[in-house]
Structure 1
Amino acid sequence: MGTHYLEHFFRPESIAVVGASETPGSVGEQVMRNLLDAGFRGAISPVNPRHGEVHGLACAPRVRALEHAPDLAVICVPPRAIHQVVEECGRHGIRAVVILAAGMGESGTGVKRLEQAVMATARRHGVRVIGPDWVGLMRPHLGLNATFSRSRALPGQLALVSQSGALTSAVLDWAESRRVGFSTVCSLGDTTDVDFGDVLDYLALDPETRSILLYVETITDARRFMGGLRAAARLKPVIVMKVGRQQESYRATSSHTGALVGADDAFDAALGRAGAVRVPTIGQLFAAAELLASGKRLAGDRIAVITNGGGPGIIATDLLVERQLQLARLGEKTLAALNRHLPARWPGDNPVDVLGDADPKRFAAALDACLDDDNVDGALVILAPQARTDPEGTAEQLCQADTRRKPVLGSWMGGSRIRTARERFTAAGFPNFATPENATEALSALSRYRRSQALLMQLPDAASARSEPDLQTAQEVISRALEAGQTRLTPLQSKTMLQAFAIPVTTTMVARSAEEARDAAQRLGLPVAMKINSPEITHKAAVDGVRLNLVDGEAVAAAYTDILEAVRKARPDAAVDGVSVEPMHTPRHGSEIMLGVVRDPVFGPVISFGAGGSMVEVIRDRAVSLPPLNDFLARDLMARTRVGRFLQLDQDSHLRRELEHALLRLSDLVCSLPRVTDVDINPVIADAQGVVAVDARIHVRDSRSDGYGHMAIMPYPRHLARRETLPGGHEVLVRPIRPEDAEMEQAFIEGLSDRSRYYRFMDHMGHVGLAMLVRFTQIDYDREMALVAVDDSGETPRQVGVARYVTNPDGRSCEFAVAVADDWQGRGLGRRLMERLMTVARERDLDRMEGQVLAENRGMLGLMDRLGFRRQRIPGDYSVVQVERSL
C-alpha cells in the first residue's frame, strides 16, 4: 500500500521551525527546546529573519532559503504572518504544516477571512494542515516533541488525540507520574483541515499504537470521522470522551421522536456503530487509559473481588452491578481452595473477604484460587490499610502473581500508608486505582469494548435481503408537498410514503364534510377513528382533534363537527383539510410501539425504537442507532429497550421478524430519501399477527443533496447492481457485496482450487474464519468496494467471482484483488468485473489502481496487459509483479 498522506506529520525525517527563537517564554523557543531535549533524530532547521543561529543551529531567514524542503514545518509566527509562511511552504514543496499560533481560532470576520485565506492557499499547493490553536504533536519513540507544552511523554503504545490543549497537558502530567507511555500525542486544535478521521485512519495501521484515547468537543465531518473511527476500532480499543452537548433543535417540539432523541444520543449511536467505547468523565478516561496501557482485556463480565474488609467488598459489588458487570459465581473447587487458605470465619463467597489481619500470602492465595476458576473473567483486589495490613508486601505479591491469563486490578485505598505500595505498582506497570469506583469504571470500559467488538463480528442473515421500494411514488409525494409549501406531510401522505416502502399501515380516507366522513366510515367498516387532518398540527390529541371507537354513522357525523370546532378554538391559525377516517385497530393483546427518525446536524439520520402511545415522552423507553441497519442491528436496537425485553424480541418469533422488517424498511426510507428529515410512526400496533402503523408524520425539506451525502455511514450502493451478459452468452448479476453474503462468500473461497486460492491470497489458506468473513463482507463502501458476480440461474444463488479495491492511505489510489471460480474461468468474467471495478473507482475520484500478481500467474498477468496495466518488478522479490494503471 502507498505511503499514508499523514506520514510527514507522524514520521518526519526533517523539521523546519518557522519563528524559531531563543527568547524565553516564546512559542518558537519552547518548540525548539522540546525538539532538542527529546532527541529528535532527524534534521531541525530554524527559520527566522532576525537570527543567524538558534540554539546552536544555523537559522535560515525565510522558508525559501532552506536548501531542502523538510518533511514538516512547525509555524510559530503571529497570526498576521501565517498566510505568507504557508504560501512559502507550498512553493518550496513542504506538504505538511502545523500551526501553533494562538488567535486564529478566535471569532471575528477578519480572523475568519484570514483562516479561509490560509486554507485556500494550502489547498492550492497540496499542503495538509493541523491546527491552528493546537499544542502540538509528540511521537516519543522518534524523539519528536513538536509542541510548546512543558509536559513530556514517555514512550509507550497508547495514543491520545485531543481537541483541548489543557486536557492534553493534564493527561501528560498524570501519565508521567503513573509512568504511562504514549505512541502519539496529538492536540488537534481547530480542525480546519486534518481532523479526527484523518488521524484515526493513520493510527489504525500505526504499528507503535495499541490503544487510542479521544477527547472530542466537536465533529465537523461525520463521514470522515466515522470512516477513521471504524477503521481504527476494528483493530484497536478506542476510548472516547465527548463534551459540549449540543442544544436540542426545533425538532424537539415537532415530533415525539425529536423530543426523545438529542444530539448526544446521535454521538452514542455513532460510537456504537464504530465499536468504540465512551466514558463520561476525565477520571474514567484516566482509568480506561491506565488499563488499556497495560494491555489487559476481558473475556467476559464475571469479576471476583478480593478484599480485606466487608465494607469495601459491598461497595465494589454495588459498583459492578451498576456498571452491568457481574459478581462471579465461584466453583466448588475454588471454594474448597479458599477454605484451605483462609480463616474459618471468612464469609465463604464472592466478594472474597480475606479479613483484616490478612498477610500478603493470604491475599495471593485467594487471588490464585479465583484466577484458576473458569467462572471468573477478571479480579479486583481491594486493600484498606488496617492495623495488621502490609500494603507494600501485598503489592509485591500481586506484581509477582501470574496475571497474564486474566485482568487483575488493584485498589489500595488510603493516603500516606499506601503511597509506597502504589509506587511499586506503578514501577511494575500493574493497573492500580485510588478508589474502587475508578477500578470498576476501568473494568466497565473493558467490558463495553468487548461487547462492541462482539457486535462488530456478528453476521446478518442472508434472508434479510429486501425487495426494492417504490421510490417513484415516494418522491412524487415529497415533491407535491414541497410545491404546496408543506414541510410536514399529512397522515395520509405519510402513510402513502410508508406503503411505498412496504411498511404496513391502516387504511385512511380524508373526509371534508360530515357526509363524506359517514360514507368513508361505512366503506372502511365500523368502528372507526377520526383525526384532524392538518400538516401544521403534530400532536392531534393536544388540540382535542381525535375521536376513537365511533360505532355508527350518527356518531361519525357528530364527531366530524366536534373535531373541527375544537381545533378552531385551540388552533385558529392552523390550515385544516377535513379529517382522516380509518378503521379502529384494537387487538386484544397488542402493544404500542414507536418507530422514529430525527436528523442530527452532524451525523444525519438517527433511527429510534421504543415504547409508543400517548405517554411516550413520559415513559421515555427508546434506543437509537445510525442507519443503514441490517437484521442484526435491528434486533440489537429492539433488545436494548424495556418494551423489547417485555415482548421477548430477543427470541425468534413472527412479531420480531415483522418489527425487524419495519425497521429495515424505515432504514431504507431515510437512506434513499435525503429530503426526509424526521419520521414519527406512533403508534405501531404490534401483536401476534404482526405490526401495523396507525399514525405517522413525516417531515421533509428541499435539499440539493444527492445520493448518500446526508449519511454518516455510506449505505449499500444498490444503484451499482446490474445484470451482465458475458461474451459466451452466460448471464450473471454483478452487485456490491452485502454483509448478508457471508455464507456465500465463504462457500466461494473454500470452493476455489488450491491453485486459485494461492493465486488470490498468495497463501495456502484453508478454512475461512469469522474475522475474515466479517472483513470481506462488512465493508465501508465509502473507502472500499467489492463487486460480486452471482449466478442466480439455479435454485440457490452462487457467487462465481469477486473484484474488490481498498483505497490506499494516500487517499488517491487503490489496491485491487480479483478472483473467479475455477469453472467460470475463461468466460470473460474477470475482465468484466475489473472493468466495472475501475469504473466505480474512477467515479469515486481515485486516480490510480495498483496490485500485486504472482509471477507464475500468467493468466492474470495477461488480463492486466489487456486492461492497460503496466508491469513493474519488485526489487528483491522476483516471485511477485507489481501492476498499476491510471484511472
Structure 2
Amino acid sequence: MNPIEGHLDSRSPLHDILAPTGIAVVGASADPTKRGYKAMVGLIKDGYRGSIYPVNPKADMILGVKAWPSVTAIPGNPELALICTPAATVPGLIAECGRRGIKGAVILASGFAEVGGEGAALEREMMAKAEAHGVRIIGPNTSGIFNLHHKINLLALDNVRPGDVGIISQSGNMLLSLALEAQHNGHVGFSTYVGPGNQSDIGFNDYLRYLGEDVHTRVATLYVEGFRDGRKFLDVAREVTAMKPVVVYKSGSTEQGQKAASSHTGALAGSYAMTVDLLRQAGVSVVQYSDEILPVAEGLGLLQKAHGKRVAVISDGGGQATIASDRLAEAGLELAELSDTTRQQLREVLLPQASTVNPVDVAGSTDAKPSLLATCMEIVAADDNVDSVFLVGMFGGYSIRFAESLLGDEMRGAEAMVDLSRATTKPLVIYSLYTPIKPPALRRLHEAGLPVYASIEQSVRVLAALGERGQYLAQLHRQSREAAVTPRPELAAMFERARGEGRDLFEYEAKQLLRDHGVEVPAERIARSEGELAAIAARFREEVGETPLVMKVVSKDILHKSDAGGVKLNLTGEQALRQAREEILASCRAHAPAAEIEGVLVTPMESKGVEVIVGVIRDPIFGPVLMFGLGGIFVEILEDVAFRSIPLSRHDAESMVAQIKAKKVLEGARGEPAVDKEALVDLLLKVSSIVDAYPALSELDLNPVIAYADGYAVVDARVIVDRQSSDEESRP
C-alpha cells in the first residue's frame, strides 16, 4: 500500500499508544469467557511482535506467558495497558500505570458517566488520576482497539484482513458488521480500529488526526453518534481531507442542545442537516445509510477522486441503464454529453441497434464478445466531457449466462479494463449482477484495485463521493478567508449596554451594527412619542416620496413583534402613522402588559422581491454557524436552508446559495428576474466577519432579507446577546 503524503500541524501522541512495543493486559485470564482471555488470544494468535505483560495476582502464567501480580511489578515499560477489570478498580490502576510509565490505557469497563450519578463521579476521579500521572485514556466503556499492521488485535476478531481502511466507531456492533461485510467482500482490509467509548479524554478529533498521519491508513472511516468537540473536529478534518478521504456516518442529531434557542436560526440549528453541511464543508464524505459506509470507503481508497460529476454509463441492459440514470440524477451527478467523435467510435464497434447516446446501451453487441465492454469503456474514457465511467450489467457472468467458451474473452476484457484503469485518471466503477458469486473476471478486477459492486445504488453513492471529493480538492485554493472586521468601540459598547440592561439589541441597534459594517439596510427612524411622527413623515417624503411606510414596536420584552400585533404595513400620511401607533401600543400592552415599550420604528416599505433568511447560531458543539435559505414565513415550514461553519470563505458562501432546493426561485421563475447572487454572497461574508468580530453576538436573524436583481434589503434584523460571556471575558 502506498502511504499518503501530507502534513499536519503536529504529530499525534497516539502513535505510541496505538502502535505500542509493549502491552500490559490488566485482568488477563485463562477463562475463555473473559475479555482478558480474548485479548491475550488475539495478541498471541496474530503474532504480536512486542512484549506482552499479563497482570493477574492469582496466576503465574497465562496462556504460556509469564504473569505479573501488579502493574508496578512489570519489569519493562509498555506504552499501553488494556484494563479489563471492573469500573471501581480503574482510578487506582490508572495511577499505577502512570507510576510504571505507561502512556495510554484502554478501559473496557462500563459504569462511568454514561450511567450518571456515582458513575460520573468515578469517571472524574479516573480523569484526575490520568491527568496527574500523564496517562491518556481510550474509553471508558470502549469496545477496544486493533492495529492489524502491528499485529495488535485486542478484540480477538477472527478473519479480519489488514488493509488501508481506518475505523473509529462508537458502536462495537457496527465494527462487527463492517468486519463481517469485509470478510464477505474478500477485498477490503483494515488498518486501525478504535471504539472511543465515553471520550472522557481522547475524542474523535484526536483519532482523526492519528489516522491522517498513519501511513497504513488510506481512508479514515467514522461511525459517530455524538461529537464532544465538533469545532475542533472540523478543524482537524480540514487538514486531513486535504491529504486523504474521510468518510462519516452520523447517527442522530444534536437538537437537545438547541431547545432553548429563541430565533428561527436557533430552531433549525443543531439538526442532522446542519451537521452534514458542516462536515461536507470540511471535505468529509457523509454517507446516509449504514450499508454505504464500506463501499464508499473502499471506492475512495482505491480511486481517490473524480475531476467532476459528469458520468458516462455503459450498459448491456436498457432497464438497468434507466435505473442508473435515475440514481445518478438523484445524487446530483450528470450524464456526460458524449462528443460526436466518441459516438462515431462507438458506432464502429457496436451493432446498428445499439444506442450511442449516454447512457450507452450495447443492445446485444457484447453477447458473443463481452470484451467489447472494455473497448467501449476505453472509448468513452478518452472523451474530455467524461469525468467517470460506470459499467452497468452482467459483466463477469457472460460465460455463466450464455456459454463457458466466453470465459477467455471475458478475462481478456477484464485485463483490458485493468490496463485502462492504470492508463487513465478517470475512475472506473463496475456494477455487475454476478458480483455475489465472484466469477473469475470480477475477481481479477478486484485484485487489480477496481471496485466492483452488487448494487447500482451503492455504485452511484461511490461515484457521487468521488465527484464531491474531486470538486472539494479543486477549490481548496479558493478557501482563503475574507479580511477580518475590526470591532468598533461604539458598537462593542452597545452590546455591553444591552447586557447591562438584561436585554437583546433593539432592532434599530442590530441594523446599526450591520449598516456600520457595510450591509445594505434601509433608512429608519424611531419615534418615542406621538409628537415625533410628523417630522418623521416629512423626512421620508423628502427622501423617498410618498412611498408607504412600515411601523414596528420597539420593546426589549417583545421578541416576536408580529405575534403581539406590533407591526403595521402600507402606511401613508401622518394620520395613518398616528393611528398605527395607537393600535400597536394597545395590542402590545394587551399581549404583554408588563412590557417596557421604548417607541416605534418607522421605515419605508420595501418593494416585492425574493425573501431569504440569513441567520447565525453559536452551536454548543460546532461553535458559530451561519444559515441561509428561503425566508419569510416559510423558513421553519420548508426548512430549505444551508449551513456553514464561521468564518466562511467565498466558496463557502457561493455553495450555500447554490445548495438550497429553491435556487430556481433565485434564478428567476415564471418570468421574474434573477436575483443578485453576488450581492447575497457578499452579505453572507459580511455577516460572517461581523460574528467573528463581536463575541457577544449569540444569535442573529435577518428575516426577511428581500433579494432583488440589483442588491438586497434587510427588512428585519434580530440580534440576541450572550448574557454569560461578559463575566467569562472579564475573568483573568
TM-score, length basis structure 1? 0.74
1:193, CA displacement in angstroms? Answer: 0.7
- Taking the aligned partners of 2:494 and 2:199, their CA distance within structure 1 comes to 40
1:358, CA displacement in angstroms? Answer: 5.2
Contact kept in structure 1, 2:258 and 2:267, CA below 8 Å:
no
Instruction: Judge which range, 281-290 or 405-414, deviates more.
Output: 405-414
- SS at 1:275 equivalent: coil
Instruction: Judge which range, 526-535 or 597-606, deviates more.
Output: 526-535
Letter of the 1:672 counterpart: A
User: 5 Å matches for 1:195-214?
Assistant: 195-214=203-222
Deviation string for 1:321-351 (max 9, x for gaps)? 1111111222233222322222221123222
Contact kept in structure 2, 1:149 and 1:169, CA below 8 Å:
no
Letter of the 2:525 counterpart: M
Q: Would the alpha carbon gap of residues 654 and 566 (structure 1) be closer, same or farther in structure 2, given more than 3 Å must change?
A: closer
Q: Would the alpha carbon gap of residues 658 and 469 (structure 1) be closer, same or farther in structure 2, given more than 3 Å must change?
A: farther
Q: Specify the alignment match of 2:612 in structure 1.
A: 593
Deviation string for 1:447-478 (max 9, x for gaps)? 111122223221549xx5366341x2222222
Q: Specify the alignment match of 1:346 in structure 2.
A: 354
Deviation string for 1:384-408 (max 9, x for gaps)? 4685377966763453122221222
User: 5 Å matches for 1:838-849?
Assistant: none
- Taking the aligned partners of 1:393 and 1:518, their CA distance within structure 2 comes to 94
- Taking the aligned partners of 1:344 and 1:366, their CA distance within structure 2 comes to 15
Q: Would the alpha carbon gap of residues 659 and 300 (structure 1) be closer, same or farther in structure 2, given more than 3 Å must change?
A: closer
- SS at 1:457 equivalent: helix
Of the three residues 39, 46, 52, the one matched with 2:54 is 46
- Taking the aligned partners of 1:466 and 1:85, their CA distance within structure 2 comes to 49
- SS at 2:165 equivalent: strand
- Taking the aligned partners of 1:426 and 1:6, their CA distance within structure 2 comes to 33
1:602 and 2:621 correspond: yes
Contact kept in structure 2, 1:597 and 1:607, CA below 8 Å:
yes
Deviation string for 1:413-442 (max 9, x for gaps)? 268776676555545543111111111111
Letter of the 1:583 counterpart: T
- SS at 1:360 equivalent: coil
- Taking the aligned partners of 1:369 and 1:574, their CA distance within structure 2 comes to 77
Contact kept in structure 2, 1:98 and 1:132, CA below 8 Å:
yes
Contact kept in structure 2, 1:275 and 1:455, CA below 8 Å:
no
Q: Specify the alignment match of 2:511 in structure 1.
A: 495
Q: Would the alpha carbon gap of residues 113 and 251 (structure 1) be closer, same or farther in structure 2, given more than 3 Å must change?
A: closer
Q: Would the alpha carbon gap of residues 134 and 248 (structure 1) be closer, same or farther in structure 2, given more than 3 Å must change?
A: closer
1:93, CA displacement in angstroms? Answer: 1.1
- SS at 2:193 equivalent: strand
Instruction: Judge which range, 700-709 or 606-615, deviates more.
Output: 700-709
User: 5 Å matches for 1:122-271?
Assistant: 122-145=130-153, 147-178=154-185, 179-247=187-255, 254-271=262-279
Deviation string for 1:168-206 (max 9, x for gaps)? 111111112222112222222221111111122222222
- Taking the aligned partners of 1:699 and 1:516, their CA distance within structure 2 comes to 28
Q: Would the alpha carbon gap of residues 268 and 573 (structure 1) be closer, same or farther in structure 2, given more than 3 Å must change?
A: farther
1:643, CA displacement in angstroms? Answer: 6.3
Contact kept in structure 2, 1:395 and 1:424, CA below 8 Å:
no
1:244, CA displacement in angstroms? Answer: 1.6
- SS at 1:373 equivalent: coil
- SS at 2:618 equivalent: strand
Q: Specify the alignment match of 1:547 in structure 2.
A: 568
- Taking the aligned partners of 1:383 and 1:430, their CA distance within structure 2 comes to 16
Contact kept in structure 1, 2:339 and 2:385, CA below 8 Å:
yes
Deviation string for 1:794-828 (max 9, x for gaps)? xxxxxxxxxxxxxxxxxxxxxxxxxxxxxxxxxxx
Letter of the 1:595 counterpart: V
Of the three residues 458, 467, 475, the one matched with 1:438 is 458
Of the three residues 402, 412, 417, the one matched with 2:432 is 412
- SS at 2:115 equivalent: coil
Letter of the 1:313 counterpart: A
Q: Specify the alignment match of 1:85 in structure 2.
A: 93
1:554, CA displacement in angstroms? Answer: 0.8
User: 5 Å matches for 1:271-350?
Assistant: 271-350=279-358
1:279, CA displacement in angstroms? Answer: 0.8
- SS at 2:719 equivalent: strand
User: 5 Å matches for 1:670-689?
Assistant: 670-687=691-708
User: 5 Å matches for 1:383-782?
Assistant: 383-384=393-394, 387-388=401-402, 396-397=411-412, 399-400=414-415, 401=417, 402=419, 403-404=421-422, 405=424, 406-413=426-433, 425-458=445-478, 460=480, 464-465=482-483, 468-470=486-488, 472-486=489-503, 488-525=504-541, 527-569=548-590, 571-573=591-593, 575-577=595-597, 579-587=599-607, 590-618=609-637, 620-641=639-660, 647=666, 655-656=676-677, 658-687=679-708, 690-704=711-725
Q: Specify the alignment match of 2:379 in structure 1.
A: 369
- SS at 1:157 equivalent: strand
- Taking the aligned partners of 1:196 and 1:237, their CA distance within structure 2 comes to 16
Q: Specify the alignment match of 2:3 in structure 1.
A: none
1:278, CA displacement in angstroms? Answer: 0.8
- Taking the aligned partners of 1:562 and 1:374, their CA distance within structure 2 comes to 67
- Taking the aligned partners of 2:471 and 2:228, their CA distance within structure 1 comes to 28
Letter of the 2:490 counterpart: T
- SS at 2:76 equivalent: coil
Q: Would the alpha carbon gap of residues 708 and 205 (structure 1) be closer, same or farther in structure 2, given more than 3 Å must change?
A: farther
- SS at 2:492 equivalent: helix
Contact kept in structure 2, 1:255 and 1:538, CA below 8 Å:
no
Instruction: Judge which range, 279-288 or 357-366, deviates more.
Output: 357-366
Deviation string for 1:835-855 (max 9, x for gaps)? xxxxxxxx9xxxxxxxxxxxx
1:149, CA displacement in angstroms? Answer: 4.5
Q: Would the alpha carbon gap of residues 393 and 106 (structure 1) be closer, same or farther in structure 2, given more than 3 Å must change?
A: farther
- SS at 1:283 equivalent: helix
Q: Would the alpha carbon gap of residues 397 and 563 (structure 1) be closer, same or farther in structure 2, given more than 3 Å must change?
A: farther
Q: Would the alpha carbon gap of residues 143 and 619 (structure 1) be closer, same or farther in structure 2, given more than 3 Å must change?
A: closer
Q: Specify the alignment match of 1:779 in structure 2.
A: none
Contact kept in structure 2, 1:501 and 1:665, CA below 8 Å:
yes
- Taking the aligned partners of 2:713 and 2:95, their CA distance within structure 1 comes to 62
- Taking the aligned partners of 2:99 and 2:435, their CA distance within structure 1 comes to 59
- Taking the aligned partners of 1:50 and 1:128, their CA distance within structure 2 comes to 27
- Taking the aligned partners of 1:150 and 1:466, their CA distance within structure 2 comes to 52
Q: Specify the alignment match of 2:5 in structure 1.
A: none
- Taking the aligned partners of 1:661 and 1:329, their CA distance within structure 2 comes to 34
1:40, CA displacement in angstroms? Answer: 0.9
Of the three residues 5, 29, 33, the one matched with 2:41 is 33
1:703, CA displacement in angstroms? Answer: 2.5
Contact kept in structure 2, 1:672 and 1:707, CA below 8 Å:
no
- Taking the aligned partners of 2:642 and 2:729, their CA distance within structure 1 comes to 24
1:708, CA displacement in angstroms? Answer: 10
- Taking the aligned partners of 2:368 and 2:560, their CA distance within structure 1 comes to 65
Q: Would the alpha carbon gap of residues 574 and 189 (structure 1) be closer, same or farther in structure 2, given more than 3 Å must change?
A: same
Letter of the 2:321 counterpart: G
Deviation string for 1:775-794 (max 9, x for gaps)? xxxxxxxxxxxxxxxxxxxx
Deviation string for 1:199-252 (max 9, x for gaps)? 222222222222111111111123431232122111111111111212265568
Letter of the 2:572 counterpart: V
